Amino acid sequence: MKYIRQFGIILSVTCAGELLKYLIPLPIPASIYGLVLLFGLLLFKVIRLDQVKDAGEFLIEIMPLMFIPPAAGLLVSWEQMRGMLVPLCVIIPVTTCLVMFATGKVTDFMLKHKEP
């Protein structure tokens, strides 16, 4: 029952993010609205971490499975992507390195300024 409640909270916040997407005319994905909303709710202690932690950890554990359908979709659209192969082979490693660098810097900053 605990997991159902936790998934329900996460699903409710996700649905609120979808509603915000339709109410706010900005080119921001609904998932980002949901993440920011959940972060704010956790930050202001409207939702406690233990109310969503177990379900969140489960979702993170199964995240690699969520990439299988999009990867299969890429195989189907191979003919359309063939003309973009060189730019993709440059952009993907460069942006991956930039994301890893930025994540490392943010993590270092957070660890240095962590409350004891």
User: Which two three-digit tokens encode residue 49?
Assistant: 């971490």
Over residues 47-61, the pLDDT tens digits come to 999 999 999 999 999
Exposure class string for 22-45: b at 16+ Cβ within 10 A, else e: eeeeeeeebeebbeebbeebeeee
pLDDT band at 68 (very low <50, low <70, confident <90, very high): confident
What distance in Å separates the CA atoms of residue 39 and residue 31, rounded to the nearest whole number? Answer: 12
pLDDT digits (tens, 9 = 90+) for 79-115: 888 888 899 889 999 999 999 999 999 999 988 887 6
Threshold 0.85, pTM exceeds: no
Which of 71-75, 76-80, 96-100 reaches the highest mean pLDDT? 96-100
Rg of the chain in Å (alpha carbons): 18
